[in-house]
């Protein structure tokens, strides 16, 4: 905890708050409205915002604040300048900026605190279907969810990842029956040619089974019986089902490894996990009168949402045939996560089309008394990945795009671009860099646009070395590492008496704001804000790089500039790490 470094902006804001309280006691506690400024290091707009309450005009209030600031020595503020209709332009002393850098460099956490300590967050993301290939539809949930897991974890929250696998349903009856009747079918990963996955094979088997189901009434009947066997726990059927789940999870693991996401088999808590918990949840909903009979089904009528005919929209707790759908599972799930996992914060990372569904689930959980005021439940919606034609991304033949194919394409494209620019790279290094750049490009493209919007999957743009791309950030990192390698000496002390150049100042102030950027991501759950921060940081570094030579500088300037380089490199690497993107030494 002693590692935490309060950002200068926060220190300045505290000082302005004190000035407000001193000059106008009745305004004590007001927001000091301190922001970064184009006209100084920071600016406070408090005078404009508060003039009304103080029954004075902004200029007068600003003058009284300036006077209050002048009355004492206020450490983080060196100069105050009144400007325009009442802006306070605030400059901090150079030594304070160098001090921040030194303190952050000395901290393994870059001086970032852990404000979420003591909170427990459940994040539901990825959730592919067993026996089906992961496709482009799983990209955003997996990448966004993983980033949030990392950021919230770093901010101190205890993060429980939940991969809500689609591992249950009537389709498994058909699949298992078909495999049973066609023992010659090869689908285990160790029976397949390299490069083929068990889920790809199972996907094919499913299609064949479906065809047989539709064509052969006897097979359809046997499949239905198999569903009953599965649901009633027939040992042979369950064993085969478990085998299918295990093989599928192995294939998912391959994708997760390649993508560099945190999900492990321990995070897998599929739909089937909730089977034994459904009746309890239903009984409770029914006993409290929240769930009611309707046309032979058990439903919860929403008090917030209506259907097309204007009547309350229902959640289907139990179908007329006695079966359960996803509404039931999701109700049991939220109950479990609150009661058993004791989460303070529940996040569901799924596409925006499910917004209404989650609104109704949360409403029901609130009415059931599960979701109480101290607990936050949030759907984290995101837009659709579009193809070049602006329609939801499909292959030319209209099929869904396999995630592995998409990653292969991105890596291949990155490889082409890298080898064009750097033809002398040995093959193994080129392949390694291409993998890092290609995967990073896909993830960064997904995370850097606002979550809520659709975006077009454009590989050429993603692997561009210019603009707001993952590759640009990786490259910025390699340039800094190159300087540091050449500099050799790792750790000389900063001399705080050195005067800062404008480019150094801008870079240093941006570095000081890293923790604030992360806190904002944690609050808004919008990863693109971290991307935006890192992109700004990289641009600030590039400006510094152009304006201020490092290795050729005289001491103590050289040491101070190396410190700027070190902290920038570490911040970029750390930030990319939170995005789940690697920061290579060379490109």
Partner RNA sequence: GCCCUCGUAGCUCAGACGGACAGAGCAAGAGACUUCUAAUCUCUAGGUCGCAGGUUCGAAUCCUGCCGGGGGCGCCA
Out of 299, 343, 439, 557, the only residue in the binding site for RNA (CB under 7 A) is: 299
CB of 420 to RNA, least distance (A): 9
Stretch that binds RNA, among 137-145, 146-154, 509-517, 522-530 (CB under 7 A): 522-530
Beta bridge partners of 35: 43
Out of 307, 369, 388, 502, the only residue in the binding site for RNA (CB under 7 A) is: 307
CB of 309 to RNA, least distance (A): 6
Residue 49 in contact with RNA, rule: CB under 7 A: yes
CB of 455 to RNA, least distance (A): 4
Query: Residue 18 or 482: which CB sits closer to RNA?
Result: 482
Residues 149-178 interacting with RNA (rule: CB under 7 A)? 166, 169
CB of 194 to RNA, least distance (A): 29
Residue 13's contacts (CB-CB under 8 Å, 6 or more residues apart) are 32, 34, 44
CA distance 434 to 292: 57
Residue 422 in contact with RNA, rule: CB under 7 A: yes
Stretch that binds RNA, among 72-80, 151-159, 394-402, 521-529 (CB under 7 A): 521-529
CA distance 518 to 290: 40
Query: Residue 189 or 393: which CB sits closer to RNA?
Result: 393
Out of 528, 566, 570, 574, the only residue in the binding site for RNA (CB under 7 A) is: 528
Residue 58 in contact with RNA, rule: CB under 7 A: yes
Total residues belonging to the chain: 587
Stretch that binds RNA, among 19-27, 131-139, 211-219, 325-333 (CB under 7 A): 325-333
Q: Total residues contacting RNA (rule CB under 7 A)?
A: 96
Out of 59, 305, 341, 412, the only residue in the binding site for RNA (CB under 7 A) is: 305
CB of 102 to RNA, least distance (A): 21
Stretch that binds RNA, among 228-236, 320-328, 364-372, 574-582 (CB under 7 A): 320-328
Say if CB 294 and CB 478 are below 8 A apart. no
Beta bridge partners of 162: 124
- In a 3-state reduction of DSSP, which class is residue 343? coil
Say if CB 165 and CB 271 are below 8 A apart. yes
Residue 421 in contact with RNA, rule: CB under 7 A: yes
CB of 49 to RNA, least distance (A): 5
* Cis amide prior to 556 (ω within 30 degrees): yes
Out of 9, 20, 51, 61, the only residue in the binding site for RNA (CB under 7 A) is: 51
Q: Is the dihedral of CA 422, 423, 428, 431 positive or negative?
A: positive
Residue 234's contacts (CB-CB under 8 Å, 6 or more residues apart) are none
Residue 243's contacts (CB-CB under 8 Å, 6 or more residues apart) are none
Residues 446-465 interacting with RNA (rule: CB under 7 A)? 448-450, 452-456, 461, 464-465
Q: By rule CB under 7 A, what string of x and - marks binding of each residue 472-511 to RNA?
A: x--x--xx--xx--x-------------------------
- Taking Cα atoms as reference points, which of 254, 240, 248 lies closest to residue 270? 248
Residue 356 in contact with RNA, rule: CB under 7 A: yes
CB of 190 to RNA, least distance (A): 30
Residue 56 in contact with RNA, rule: CB under 7 A: no
- In a 3-state reduction of DSSP, which class is residue 239? helix
CB of 485 to RNA, least distance (A): 8
Say if CB 455 and CB 445 are below 8 A apart. yes
CA distance 56 to 46: 13
Report the side by side order of strands in the sheet with 87-91: 34-36, 42-44, 87-91, 79-83
CA distance 89 to 541: 24
Out of 192, 258, 326, 501, the only residue in the binding site for RNA (CB under 7 A) is: 326
CB of 350 to RNA, least distance (A): 7
Residue 334 in contact with RNA, rule: CB under 7 A: no
Query: Residue 112 or 449: which CB sits closer to RNA?
Result: 449
CA distance 528 to 147: 10
Stretch that binds RNA, among 130-138, 241-249, 280-288, 470-478 (CB under 7 A): 470-478
Percent helix, strand, coil in the chain, to 5, is: 55, 10, 35
Stretch that binds RNA, among 8-16, 149-157, 239-247, 547-555 (CB under 7 A): 547-555
Stretch that binds RNA, among 14-22, 209-217, 277-285, 307-315 (CB under 7 A): 307-315
CB of 314 to RNA, least distance (A): 4
Residues 65-124 interacting with RNA (rule: CB under 7 A)? 83-85, 87, 89
Beta strands 297-306 and 292-294: pairing type?
Answer: antiparallel
Query: Residue 379 or 402: which CB sits closer to RNA?
Result: 379
Beta strands in 73-217 (DSSP E): 79-83, 87-91, 120-124, 158-162
Using the CB atoms, write b or e for 361-392: b if 16+ within 10 Å. bbbbbebbebbeeebebebbbbbbbbbeeeee
**Helices 46-54 and 8-23 meet at what angle, rounded to 10?**
20
Residues 9-48 interacting with RNA (rule: CB under 7 A)? 33, 37-40, 43, 45, 48
- Taking Cα atoms as reference points, which of 487, 445, 467 lies closest to residue 538? 467
Residues 214-253 interacting with RNA (rule: CB under 7 A)? none
Write out the H or E segment, with its range, that includes residue 346. Answer: strand 345-351
Query: Residue 189 or 481: which CB sits closer to RNA?
Result: 481
Q: By rule CB under 7 A, what string of x and - marks binding of each residue 376-415 to RNA?
A: -----x-xx-------------------------------
CB of 2 to RNA, least distance (A): 27
Out of 73, 266, 287, 295, the only residue in the binding site for RNA (CB under 7 A) is: 295
Using the CB atoms, write b or e for 533-561: b if 16+ within 10 Å. bbbebbbbbbebbeebebeeeeeebbbbb
CA distance 363 to 346: 14
Residue 185 in contact with RNA, rule: CB under 7 A: no
């Amino acid at each position: 905890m002693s590692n935490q470094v309060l950002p200068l902006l926060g220190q300045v804001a505290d000082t302005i708050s004190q000035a407000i309280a001193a000059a106008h006691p009745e305004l004590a506690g007001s927001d000091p409205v301190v922001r970064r400024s184009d006209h100084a290091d920071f600016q406070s707009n408090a005078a404009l915002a508060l003039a009304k309450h103080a029954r004075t005009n902004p200029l007068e209030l600003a003058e009284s604040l300036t006077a209050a600031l002048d009355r004492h020595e206020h450490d983080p503020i060196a100069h105050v300048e009144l400007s325009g209709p009442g802006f306070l332009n605030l400059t901090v002393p150079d030594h304070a900026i160098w001090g921040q850098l030194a303190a952050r460099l000395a901290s393994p956490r870059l001086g970032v605190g852990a404000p979420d300590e003591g909170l427990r967050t459940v994040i539901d993301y990825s959730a592919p279907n067993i026996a089906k290939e992961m496709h482009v539809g799983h990209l955003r949930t997996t990448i966004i969810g993983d980033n949030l897991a990392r950021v919230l974890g770093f901010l101190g929250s205890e993060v429980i990842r939940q991969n809500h696998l689609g591992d249950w349903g009537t389709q498994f009856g058909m699949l298992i029956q078909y495999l049973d009747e066609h023992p010659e079918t090869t689908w285990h990963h160790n029976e397949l040619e390299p490069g083929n996955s068990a889920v790809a094979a199972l996907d094919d088997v499913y299609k064949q089974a479906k065809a047989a189901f539709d064509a052969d009434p006897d097979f359809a009947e046997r499949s239905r019986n198999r569903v009953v066997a599965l649901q009633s726990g027939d040992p042979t059927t369950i064993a085969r089902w478990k085998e299918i789940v295990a093989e599928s999870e192995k294939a998912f693991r391959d994708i997760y490894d390649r993508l560099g996401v945190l999900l492990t088999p321990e995070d897998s808590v599929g739909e089937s996990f909730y089977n034994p918990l459904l009746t309890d949840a239903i009984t409770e909903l029914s006993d409290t009168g929240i769930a009611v009979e309707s046309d032979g089904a058990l439903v919860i009528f929403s008090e917030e949402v209506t259907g097309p005919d204007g009547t309350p929209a229902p959640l289907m707790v139990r179908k007329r045939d006695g079966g359960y759908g996803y509404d039931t599972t999701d109700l049991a799930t939220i109950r479990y996560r609150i009661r058993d996992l004791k989460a303070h914060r529940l996040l569901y990372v799924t596409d925006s089309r499910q917004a209404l569904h989650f609104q109704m689930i949360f409403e029901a959980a609130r009415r059931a008394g599960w979701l109480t005021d101290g607990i936050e439940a949030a759907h984290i919606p995101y837009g659709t990945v579009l193809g070049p034609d602006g329609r939801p991304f499909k292959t030319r033949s209209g099929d869904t795009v396999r995630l592995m194919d998409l990653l292969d394409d991105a890596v291949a494209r990155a490889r082409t671009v890298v080898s064009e620019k750097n033809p002398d790279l040995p093959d193994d290094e080129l392949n390694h860099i291409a993998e890092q750049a290609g995967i990073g490009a896909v993830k960064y493209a997904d995370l850097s646009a606002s979550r809520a919007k659709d975006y077009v999957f454009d590989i050429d743009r993603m692997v561009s070395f210019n603009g707001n791309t993952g590759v640009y950030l990786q490259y910025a990192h390699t340039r800094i590492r190159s300087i540091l390698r050449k500099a050799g000496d790792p750790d000389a002390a900063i001399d705080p008496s050195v005067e800062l150049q404008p480019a150094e100042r801008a870079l240093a102030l941006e570095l000081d704001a890293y923790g604030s950027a992360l806190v904002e991501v944690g609050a808004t759950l919008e990863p693109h804000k971290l991307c935006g921060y890192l992109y700004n940081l990289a641009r600030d570094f590039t400006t510094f790089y152009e304006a201020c030579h490092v290795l050729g500088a005289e001491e103590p300037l050289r040491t101070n500039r190396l410190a700027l380089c070190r902290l920038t490199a570490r911040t970029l690497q750390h930030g990319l790490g939170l995005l789940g993107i690697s920061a290579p030494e060379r490109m």
